[in-house]
A and B are shown apart, each in its own frame.
Chain A
Amino acid sequence: MIRILLVDDHPALRAGLSAVLRAEPGLVPLGTAASEEELWPALHRTKPDVVVLDYHLPPADGLQLCRRIKRSIPAPGVLLYSAYADAQLVIPARLAGADGIVNKGAPANELYDAIRTVARGDRIMPPLSRELLDSAGERLDSEDLPILGMALDGTPEKEIARTLGIAADELTQRLDRMIARLKVEVPVPREA
């Protein structure tokens, strides 16, 4: 049995997701959250195995939320649920510690598979292309490139900090900065 928490700001998707997951044997949606404020109590109450997290959750940033969820103990698997360019999301998602990305347009069985994969402790991400790596490299400081390499390789943060001889706090800050530079901007209309 896989325990699941759903986080999405759109009511239609929360309802749809719950219904679909309830219908599948072995998956149990324990609760839903529409915002960051609802997320933390729900997380402590339900202690899920997998969090299905909307990438775009204004005013919060999905990737920063993902990092904070992954720091909670015990850390659940995080599956980013996105309606945006998935391929470009791969690198910032990996830096943020996400375990998988699923497009909102994917059929239910792909979602089931992804949740099961993440619950097993494996990763499910679109493949990483040469171009994406190159363009990410260009946008980062050269001193951050070793962190990028190790993080994409799956090295735990503690080990990265030890290898580079830097404090955990500094690594956290640098990761935050890297994610901020690489994240996929969601265009939001200005206040009219």
Chain B
Amino acid sequence: MTRVLGAIVAVVLLMAHDVSDHDGWLIVATVGWTAFSLAAYGASVRLQRSPLAWLVDMAVVLELVYLSTDWRSPFYIFALTALILPATELPFRRAVGWGIMFTGGYLVVAIATQRLDSGTFERAIRLEIITTHLMIPIVIVLALGYAADLLRALRDERRRAERLAVQAERQRIAWELHDSAKQRVHAAHLVLSALDSRVNGANREIVDHALTELRAATADMDTSVAELRAPLDGRPVDLLLRERARELEVASSAAIVVRGGLPDLPPLVTTHAYRIAAEALTNAVRHADAERIEVELSADREHATIVVRDDGSGLPDEARPGSHGLPSMRNRAETIGAELEMTRGPGGRGTVVTLKVPLTHATEAAT
């Protein structure tokens, strides 16, 4: 890093010339501050972006310049390194603001350490040197800020292009699924259903079974198509569930209440948690004849919990024919390492679906 270079320059210059009567202490302070600031910035990304940290850093390096008792200081390069983070992290205009601030600070230090000199020639040279000293920070910030801005724009553009490509690909797959595969399944279902009334006994059972499977296949494809066309786009689970609840409320007579909230979850976990909860919600509306459905979202340090509770007819003893909902919910729960529990409500009425998502594990699974 440039800071190390700045520190080396400062130390070498300090050793080569007698700058002040406390050179030893200045070397210790320089090396110390270099090590400390690098360690602190290395440890925390948030610190790297904190204006307060930049300000402290800038104050310390300017103080070193001041302590060296001359503004033509061995610490000049070292001091300049305090500008690198603001110049690369901030948008261009604000970065330039920091550059001007640094120049102002340096001017104050220069005035404070100025020694009176006589002679016009010497004064002219000094004027030129101080101007150079004051302009360099601005130039550095301009160059770094501009480059950082370009890099940011480039990165955003690439992300956008990637997102668009993924989106287009998903659209295409959804389209093929819908336009080709599903039409064929429809055709197979239609042909087979024509046979249904013409066969009897055991054969009839076989045909019915095949018809059920074909209908389930269509339903599966519809789900996949929906997922491909309307990806959740990084929206949080609670928001998505509230939207889904509003949609379902319009289409049914049940009253749906969504309470509480969840912390931000990684995208993969969000998708599965949402689809599980949405399926539970849909089941309550479609199959349980519920009048009131409650969705409770909560989280502690270790788990995010979603509870879907209804007052409907409760879980059937046997799965509905062609129902793929429950196995798919279990599969999803397994994928994100979550616990899924389905029980009857208090007094044997209704159904309670509880999904417990481990928070630490969830983060690992997504990364």
Chain A residues contacting B56 (CB-CB under 8 Å) are none
B250 in the interface (beta carbon within 8 A): yes
Chain A residues contacting B332 (CB-CB under 8 Å) are none
Give, as a whole number of angstroms, the nearest-CB distance from B263 to chain A. 33
B295 in the interface (beta carbon within 8 A): no
Give, as a whole number of angstroms, the nearest-CB distance from A9 to chain B. 9
Contacting residues of chain B (143-168) with chain A, CB-CB under 8 angstroms: 168
Selected from A13, A19, A108, A109, the residue in CB contact (under 8 A) with B183 is A13
Cα A116 to Cα B229 in complex, Å, equals 37
Binds A, one of B70-78, B111-119, B192-200: B192-200
Most chain-B Cβ atoms within 10 A of its Cβ — which of A12, A17, A83? Answer: A12
Interface string of B233-253 (1 = CB under 8 A from A): 000000000000000001000
Give, as a whole number of angstroms, the nearest-CB distance from A92 to chain B. 20
Would A190 and B168 count as touching, CB distance under 8 A? yes
Report if A16-B187 is in contact (Cβ < 8 Å); known contacts: A105-B215, A108-B194, A109-B197: yes
Would A187 and B190 count as touching, CB distance under 8 A? no
Would B183 and A107 count as touching, CB distance under 8 A? no
Contacting residues of chain A (114-168) with chain B, CB-CB under 8 angstroms: 131
A23 in the interface (beta carbon within 8 A): yes
Selected from A20, A109, A189, the residue in CB contact (under 8 A) with B172 is A189
The total number of A-B Cβ pairs within 8 Å is 71
Chain B residues contacting A23 (CB-CB under 8 Å) are 194
Chain B residues contacting A104 (CB-CB under 8 Å) are 183, 186, 190
Would B175 and A107 count as touching, CB distance under 8 A? no
Would B211 and A83 count as touching, CB distance under 8 A? no
B189 in the interface (beta carbon within 8 A): yes
A10 in the interface (beta carbon within 8 A): yes
Cα A139 to Cα B180 in complex, Å, equals 32
Give, as a whole number of angstroms, the nearest-CB distance from A87 to chain B. 10
Cα A109 to Cα B282 in complex, Å, equals 29
Would B168 and A10 count as touching, CB distance under 8 A? no
Cα A187 to Cα B179 in complex, Å, equals 11
Chain A residues contacting B272 (CB-CB under 8 Å) are none
Would B191 and A105 count as touching, CB distance under 8 A? no
Would A190 and B171 count as touching, CB distance under 8 A? yes
Chain A residues contacting B178 (CB-CB under 8 Å) are 83
Would A188 and B175 count as touching, CB distance under 8 A? yes
Interface string of A12-34 (1 = CB under 8 A from B): 11011101100110000000000
Chain B residues in contact with chain A, CB under 8 A? Answer: 168-169, 171-172, 174-175, 178-180, 182-184, 186-191, 193-194, 196-197, 211, 215, 218, 229, 250
* 9 intermolecular pairs with C-beta atoms under 8 Å apart: A10-B187, A13-B183, A16-B191, A19-B191, A20-B190, A20-B191, A107-B211, A111-B190, A189-B174
